Chains A and B, each alone.
Chain A
Amino acid sequence: GEDVEQSLFLSVREGDSSVINCTYTDSSSTYLYWYKQEPGAGLQLLTYIFSNMDMKQDQRLTVLLNKKDKHLSLRIADTQTGDSAIYFCAESWGQLTFGSGTQLTVLP
């Protein structure tokens, strides 16, 4: 079956760049997503990339997709304390299959 894997924790200093990594297994996925979840809240769609793209940039966010290795990454430039949250990658083949989430902690 499909499986999406992420590392569980990441700590960075305020102002540094954060890179969150994800691997997926379903090569037929149409879209790949990054969602952010803050405590007590639902999932906020951050960005997404179509499977035939290699890169997408949206302000401080850069998504890289390596289809050969089935590897997806999210880079957050100039990370701020407000970026502290859990980040989920998800692959889509109609329904979403999520990774376990990466807890990003931004240190002052």
Chain B
Amino acid sequence: KAGVTQTPRYLIKTRGQQVTLSCSPISGHRSVSWYQQTPGQGLQFLFEYFSETQRNKGNFPGRFSGRQFSNSRSEMNVSTLELGDSALYLCASSRGLGDQPQHFGDGTRLSIL
């Protein structure tokens, strides 16, 4: 059974650009959550999607957004990139809303120059 797949694995962008990251959950999983990992702040929750609707949101500015498609695949978008957005972005999936446990992908490493 395939795990959570995130693409691309690595991205390099410059300040002011925007970026879209993709996450395909484990087959049969309908909930997708996104987390940001940085050396300074650790792992922080961004948002959770279920049935194509954002169900929960962390404390991040509006530049961070996401969506979920009918096949449960999710994308997150960051606009007007800042140097501080450099991080590992991790996606996790679970069977249902509030249903645990969450299984993580290998992440997308985003570097802002």
Contact = CB atoms under 8 A, between A and B. Distances in A.
B56 interface: yes
B1 to A, nearest CB: 14
A43 B56 contact: no
Contacts of B90: 42-43
Nearest to B6: A42
A95 B58 contact: yes
B51 to A, nearest CB: 15
Contacts of A44: 104
Chain B interface helix/strand/loop/mixed: strand
Name the residue among A43, A90, A92, A101 with the largest chain B CB count within 10 angstroms: A43
A29 B48 CA distance: 18
Nearest to B97: A94
B66 interface: no
Given A94-B48, A95-B33, A100-B42, A43 B101 contact: no
Nearest to B109: A40
Prevailing SS type, chain A contact patch? strand
Interface residues of B, number: 21
Interface string A37-65: 00011111100100000000000000000
A33 interface: yes
Contact of A98 (B4, B43, B98): B43
Interface in A87-108: 88, 90, 92, 94-101
Given A42-B90, A42-B106, A95 B45 contact: yes
A48 B101 contact: yes
Interface of A: 30-31, 33, 35, 40-45, 48, 88, 90, 92, 94-101
Interface of B: 4, 6, 33, 35, 42-43, 45, 48, 56, 58, 90, 92, 98, 100-107
